[in-house]
Amino acid sequence: MIYSKDDFKLMRKASKLAMMTLDFIDEYVKAGITTEELDNLCNEFIVKNGGISACKGYSGYPKYTCISLNHVICHGIPTDKRKLHEGDILNIDVTVIVDGFFGDTSRMYKVGKIQPIAQKLIDVTYQSLWDAILAIKPFDPLNKVGDVISKTISKTGFSVVRDFCGHGVGRRFHEDPTVLHFKNKYSEEPLKPGMIFTIEPMINVGKPDTKTLSDGWTSVTKDHSLSAQFEHSIGITDKGVEVFTITDEEEKIYGKFLDKWN
Ligand code: MF3
Ligand code: CO
Ligand code: CO
């Protein structure tokens, strides 16, 4: 899809609510709370602020957000059976719909003091996302995203998950293009102004292999190694890249390298 400047405005609004939900939930991420309680808190915040969760009911998905702990790669289902423990790392992935547009973003959270390897994993996963965002410009080939992410990760001994990818987003939750996070020749398609998609690298401490649990959703590392993920929804403008789900902190650091299509 090629979106207009007016569409970018709507995308900005939906994405801002998704980002604010991740900000909002931060103070609740503590030992003892269940992932279901976090899910319900996110949903209350989303609804109070004029959005609805895109996840609930999507292909039968049962909850409002995805919460993926430790060796869970993505699509972890919040549950009242799982309380957070000291040392856990988790990804919370929020997608909201506002005025017909989908804002999709996720980030990592920590419970108390975590292992040094977990911290390193979180740091390089975050870095790989921003390396990719800052590397691309209009008319670059789409597969530059995967080139940059694999280059950052190759220095660490960690691995890039291949079974899940980024995706076009906007008026639909998932649409073209498919955004691979590993080095590939599949898409030399040029990044055109008006394109909107996510970049959401999943990085494992061990091997890239994934396994889906019997609930049909939860994806875990086959070797049970830790996994981390960060996700932003971005748009290609005539001059550069707009990050719709950018945080205030990131805006201060990276804002000067980014564009906003007004
Ligand atoms: N937010 C996820 C993504 O980044 C998709 C979650 S689909 C759900 O694409 F049904 F599991 F919520
Ligand atoms: Co996504
Ligand atoms: Co997401």
Q: Which atom of ligand 1 is nearest to the CA of 94?
A: 1
Give the residue-averaged pLDDT of 140-159. 98
Nearest CA to ligand 1 atom 8: 55
What pLDDT band is residue 108 in, cutting at 50, 70 and 90? very high
Handedness of CA 122, 128, 133, 135 (dihedral sign): positive
Distances (CA, A) of 137 to 179, 250, 258: 15, 19, 10
Give the residue-averaged pLDDT of 5-11. 98
Q: Tell me which of 15, 66, 200 to substitute to probe ligand 1's pocket, judged by most ligand atoms within 8 Å of the beta carbon.
A: 66
Beta strands in the chain (DSSP E): 52-53, 66-69, 72-74, 89-98, 101-110, 159-160, 166-168, 175-179, 196-199, 202-204, 210-212, 219-221, 227-229, 232-236, 241-243
pLDDT in tens, 159-171: 999 999 999 999 9
CA distance 33 to 216: 24
Distances (CA, A) of 221 to 180, 203, 212: 18, 10, 9
Q: Which atom of ligand 1 is nearest to the CA of 75?
A: 11
What pLDDT band is residue 231 in, cutting at 50, 70 and 90? very high
pLDDT at residue 59 in the model: 97
pLDDT in tens, 57-101: 999 999 999 999 999 999 999 999 999 999 999 999 999 999 999
CA distance 35 to 40: 9
Q: Do residues 111 and 90 make contact, with C-beta atoms less than 8 angstroms apart? A: yes
Q: What is the mean pLDDT of the chain?
A: 98
Cα of 93 from ligand 1 centre, angstroms: 7
For the chain, percent of residues with pLDDT exceeding 70: 100
Count Cβ atoms below 10 Å from residue 12 Cβ, excluding itself: 20
Q: Do residues 219 and 164 make contact, with C-beta atoms less than 8 angstroms apart? A: yes
Q: Residue length, the chain?
A: 262
Nearest CA to ligand 1 atom 3: 104
Give the residue-averaged pLDDT of 196-216. 98
Q: Is 53 helix (H, G, I), strand (E, B) or coil?
A: strand
Output the six-digit token pair for 239.
């001059």
Burial class from Cβ neighbours inside 10 Å (0-12, 13-18, 19+) for residue 250 reads middle
Give the residue-averaged pLDDT of 133-150. 98
Query: Which pTM was predicted?
Result: 0.98
pLDDT at residue 74 in the model: 98
- What's the farthest any 2 CA atoms get from each other in the chain? 48
Residues with Cβ–ion distance below 5 A, ligand 3: 93, 104, 106, 231
Q: Do residues 201 and 124 make contact, with C-beta atoms less than 8 angstroms apart? A: no
Contact residues for 154 (Cβ-Cβ < 8 A; gap 6+): none
Q: Is the CB of 164 under 6 A from ligand 1?
A: no
Residues with Cβ–ion distance below 5 A, ligand 2: 104, 198
pLDDT in tens, 116-141: 999 999 999 999 999 999 999 999 99
